[in-house]
Structure 1
């Protein structure tokens, strides 16, 4: 008797289990028809992205500058510096007695007027660049990024030229002051900051050699990279074997090759540093990264999250014709023999990038996207998704447009209170039972 009871109970329990599952499926048939199980998902994030050309260079003294003495201008009197002296812009280097006071004064005043005019033009140009507005992008952000980078490069280059002109003007003004104070004697000031490394006692030019104390980064790029870099471009790097970084701007790049190896030409460049890296010495090696493109605070995704598919390109509808145009076209068609139009060939296709987005209501949707800069495995998303959007990082074959998705249970977040706080928790529980 007990044996029959056990068999009946077992049979009843099995039938009840099957009946309950059938009942649950009947309740939510539409909800369970398309279901995806997602184990890996991520959020779009904010990142500063760069396109760079990698190179290597060495720290060098910025430049070797020279001061010349024109023997036709007057009679040399004396040097005012010695080898090894440190000089700043405007410091007196030597003095001489002029041959023609009025002629020299007029020449200096003419140079002063010329420099003041050039400085005014450069200042106006810098102000115009700073005040120029770049329209915010409506869709593609890359042209906006390129325009901002170009603006910064033009401003940096103009400021470098402005500093040089201002130093030259200071020297000319000092010479006019000394000429006015001393009558026939002019003291020639330095246009550069640095160390006096050579003085020509015989007055053979250059009379004085000045080696600037500030370091620059010098190196070479091969012909394949030469056209990708331009003066004023932002540059950065790391001092090798030291925990030091630096930033600067490309001061100059040669337009002719001074070195060739394995049938490849190389072009010299010089980078002006924004600040001198602490501990760096002449001859130290450094990495060099030319910033050819950048996107600050860009919405960013990993390249593995992005899918591609072919989409048909819909032809543009022809514009409406006026009566006159229609008549002209009709006349042309009547005069032209019948031809098979090539426009009726198979439709054109394009590659469309997209991502599978996980919505807050538990469904998956495809979002077509536009991309910008690529930096390693990171991609700038210029249109299509927002910052912080949840993206499925799975094989797309299991996804359906508008389909429901499930994710693994996070037991740390699973409490009775959190369950009750969720909307439609009973439906979610039923789906979980069936899937398991």
Structure 2
């Protein structure tokens, strides 16, 4: 008898399971209430996502200037500086005695006129760029704009930030040119005044600030080389990296042997490789300007120090972010407060490491399911495992547990 009852019990259980499976399989209109088990979930959060490209670099001088002496213009007298000396604009470098007063005076006047014209052109370009307003298109993004200034043509990108960055970079370059040309004009005017005063002797002053790195007693040009006091960080890009990087990108740098962190901007990326070879990979030099004003920090930096350059390729600040294991082919499973699991389409943006920017479809604080994805069904009631670690004595009081339990039974 017991054996007979046992067979009946097992038969009943089997029939029950099979009937329920059949009902679920043929429930085309989803009239049967389904439950999704959510084992783990997470909250969307706010984060700053930054995609970086890391390259080694070395500190070097930003450039050097050369001073020339035309031996046909006169007889050299003496150098007034030595190698290693620091000079400022207007400081005397060397003197010579002219051979022809009138010829030298005419030549200096011509040079003064030429530099004055170049100064006027630079100042005009700066004024036009300062007055230029990046136009906004109908969609809220700037249109492509071509700015013609004599032989200069600038095409602004559509991105507002990139266009403004390009404008600021252009102004900085022109201000530097203006400063150099002004110093050159002052040097020429000083030579002209001295010639007119003495009649036959000219002292050549430095048009630049810097350090005297080389003097040629043989008077072979350039007779003096002046290294810029401004430092920069140099590096090299591979062919693939060169296609992705342009001037103007912000950088973060760390000096290997010093506890110094610096910020900067890529100011130049070469269009030509260091060497061209059919069997060798090409590398493209680039330089980074150092945005540091603390004199103590700048004094600690020396040419030759190595650095790690972090180039900010793309960034999304204060972005709504999810970990990649919460995203399923451009959608997420939201755990709504009404107890339903909802399949929600999303639009993603920047992807950095395991974090993904969510541009649309998720707000900060939304709860989304992680796994097991095989249990997830749209608009299904979801259940989650008990969080034992979060249980306390108060969890088992009537108000906190029993009432919710009875309410759940009655609602079913």
| TM norm structure 1 | 0.68
Aligned to 2:40: 40
Q: Indicate the residue corresponding to 2:112 in structure 1.
A: 108
1-side partners of 2:406 and 2:280: how far apart? 70
State whether structure 2 residue 186 is matched by structure 1 residue 174: yes
Write the deviation string for residues 332-363 of structure 1: whole angstroms up to 9, x where unpaired: xxxxxxxxxxxxxxxxxxxxx01112223333
SS in 2 for 1:307: coil
1:266 aligns with 2:278: no
Query: Is residue 304 from structure 1 mapped to residue 316 from structure 2 by the alignment?
Result: no
Q: 1:432 to 1:78 in 2, by over 3 A?
A: farther
Once the two structures are superposed, residues 58-103 of structure 1 have per-residue CA deviations (whole angstroms, 9 ceiling, x without a partner) of 2223223322234456665544432221123454434555644244
SS in 1 for 2:339: coil
Deviations 1:169-225 (A, max 9, x none): 221341354256435366544344321122223332112111233332222222222
Residue matched to 1:362: 339
d(CA) in 2 for partners of 1:195, 1:287: 27
Q: Of 357, 375, 380, which aligns to 2:357?
A: 380
Which residue of the partner structure matches residue 93 of structure 1? 93
User: Where do 5+ consecutive residues of structure 1 fail to align?
Assistant: 1-29, 138-144, 309-352
Say which of 266, 270, 273 aligns to 1:250: 266
Aligned mates of 1:89, 1:34 — CA distance in 2 = 83
1:153–1:234: 8 Å Cα contact kept in structure 2? no
402-411 or 49-58, larger mean C-alpha shift: 402-411
Change (3 A) 1:401 1:169: same
Q: 1: distance between equivalents of 2:61 and 2:34?
A: 69
What is the rounded CA distance, in whole Å, between the counterparts of 1:169 and 1:60 in structure 2? 24
After superposing the two structures, state which structure 1 stretch, 69-78 or 79-88, moved more. Answer: 69-78
**Alignment match of 1:235 (pick from 246, 251, 254):** 251
Match 2:229 to one of 192, 213, 225: 213
Write out aligned runs for 1:166-205 (5 A). Answer: 166-175=178-187, 177-179=189-191, 181-184=193-196, 188-205=204-221
What CA distance in whole angstroms lies between the structure 2 residues aligned with 1:414 and 1:160? 67
Q: Structure 2: which 5+ residue stretches go unaligned?
A: 1-29, 142-156
Q: Does 1:163 align with 2:175?
A: yes
Provide the residue aligned with 1:316 in structure 2: none
Q: Which secondary structure does the structure 2 equivalent of 1:33 belong to?
A: coil
User: What is the 5 A alignment of 1:6-25?
Assistant: none
User: In the alignment, what sits opposite 1:288?
Assistant: 309
2:47 and 2:260 map into 1 onto residues whose CA distance is 22
Q: Which residue of 2 aligns with 1:14?
A: none
- Secondary structure of the residue aligned to 1:265 is coil
Take 2:241 and 2:160, find their aligned partners in 1: how far apart are those partners?
Answer: 22
Residue pairs, 1:308-347, within 5 angstroms: 308=329
Aligned-partner Cα distance in 2 for 1:119–1:180: 24
What is the TM-score when the length of structure 2 is the normalising length? 0.71
Aligned residues: 352
